[in-house]
């Protein structure tokens, strides 16, 4: 059962807002700015991008390019390229799904990825070149500033060893469905506390499992792996804190420390938004 564009757009905006509501150590959120940006930057980027993410009948690449152009025009920085690369296939899947819920979304997503065209690759390459010269653009072959000679999934597969967003295209968004969504479900029903909860849990699950691609691109794999270990230690310690106020204080202290070190697990945040988006899309079928 496909979702209407309005429902897809609402789910996307809800996911972006929920991610900003979580105190994600090292990343921008409502409780603290960082890296020259603040929550309002990402809210404005999301609002500008949302209609293109949910554009009815549009191809995945067209959604990515339109949303990236609108976001860039709105805020003038690369605020959400990774989010848009992940959100566009999920939105297209929600529009074409033949059933309801997470499994129907996952099945529709597999079909969307299998049907990506050369035009999708060209549009996605253009968006990547506009928003960020790193990532795929650093490859010796298939530079994003040149017309693509391979499909989008094939291009992402080439980058999947060094980029977690690219890996989702290669693996059918397995990390979203097998890590992100379970992390969100694990804290369902727990008492809500500002800054804490499912979005933070998903973020920490990703940051603890994988060396963050954004950190690796800026500082190298050893730094990214060292940060992953620190994230895992923090996650374990946070789970031992029983008082929400104490947990929030610990998260804010770690957040400030990482920002002083200029460490931003941005890819973990992108994966968190995608997981929230998938969850809200699945829930929208029952509203």
Q: What is the pLDDT of residue 135?
A: 46
The answer to whether position 249 is within a domain reads no
The CA-based diameter of the chain, rounded to the nearest angstrom, is: 55
The answer to whether position 34 is within a domain reads yes
Contact 272, 19 (CB under 8 A): yes
The answer to whether position 176 is within a domain reads no
| Threshold 0.75, pTM exceeds | yes
Q: Which among 133, 125, 127, 16 is positioned nearest to 72, based on CA atoms?
A: 127
Distance CA 137, CA 202 (A): 28
The answer to whether position 100 is within a domain reads yes
pLDDT per position in the chain (287 positions), as tens? 689 999 999 999 999 999 999 999 999 999 999 998 899 999 999 999 999 999 999 999 999 999 999 999 999 988 999 999 999 999 999 999 988 899 999 999 999 999 999 899 999 999 999 987 544 445 545 455 566 778 899 989 999 999 999 999 999 999 999 999 999 998 776 666 899 999 999 999 999 999 999 999 999 999 999 999 999 999 999 999 999 999 999 999 999 999 999 999 999 999 999 999 999 999 998 65
Distance CA 166, CA 130 (A): 17
The answer to whether position 63 is within a domain reads yes
Q: Which among 222, 219, 200, 217 is positioned nearest to 268, based on CA atoms?
A: 200
Distance CA 230, CA 26 (A): 12
The answer to whether position 22 is within a domain reads yes
Question: What's the Cα-to-Cα distance from 215 to each of 141, 144, 165, 232, rounded to whole Å?
Answer: 23, 21, 13, 16
The answer to whether position 189 is within a domain reads no
Number of structural domains the chain divides into: 1
Q: What does the DSSP assignment read for 1-35?
A: -PPPHHHHHHHHHHHHHHHHTB--TTS-BTTB-BT
The answer to whether position 259 is within a domain reads no
Contact 203, 24 (CB under 8 A): yes
Query: Whole domain around residue 90: which residue ranges?
Result: 5-161+276-284
């Amino acid at each position: 059962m496909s979702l209407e564009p309005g429902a897809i757009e609402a789910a996307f905006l809800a996911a972006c807002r929920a991610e900003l509501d979580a105190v994600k150590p090292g990343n921008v959120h409502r409780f603290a700015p960082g890296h020259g940006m603040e929550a309002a930057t990402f809210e404005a980027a999301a609002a500008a991008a949302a209609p293109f993410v949910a554009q009815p009948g549009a191809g995945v690449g067209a959604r990515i390019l339109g949303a990236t152009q609108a976001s860039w025009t709105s805020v003038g920085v690369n605020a959400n390229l990774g989010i848009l690369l992940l959100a566009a296939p999920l939105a297209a899947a929600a529009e074409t799904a033949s059933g309801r819920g997470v499994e129907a979304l996952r099945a529709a997503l597999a079909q969307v990825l299998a049907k990506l065209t050369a035009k999708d690759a060209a549009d996605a390459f253009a968006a990547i070149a506009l928003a960020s010269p790193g990532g795929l653009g650093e490859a010796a072959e298939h530079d994003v500033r040149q017309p693509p000679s391979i499909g989008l999934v094939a291009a992402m597969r080439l980058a999947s060893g060094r980029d977690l967003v690219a890996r989702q295209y290669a693996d059918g968004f397995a990390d979203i469905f097998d890590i992100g969504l379970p992390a969100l479900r694990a804290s369902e029903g727990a008492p809500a506390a500002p800054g804490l909860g499912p979005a933070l849990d998903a973020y920490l699950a990703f940051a603890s499992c994988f060396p963050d691609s954004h950190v690796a691109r800026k500082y190298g794999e050893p730094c990214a792996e060292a940060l992953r270990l620190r994230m895992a230690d923090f996650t374990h310690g946070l789970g031992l804190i029983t008082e929400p106020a104490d947990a929030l204080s610990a998260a804010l202290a770690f957040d400030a420390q990482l920002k002083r070190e200029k460490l931003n697990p941005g890819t973990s945040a992108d994966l968190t938004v995608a997981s929230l988006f998938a969850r809200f899309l699945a829930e929208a079928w029952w509203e």
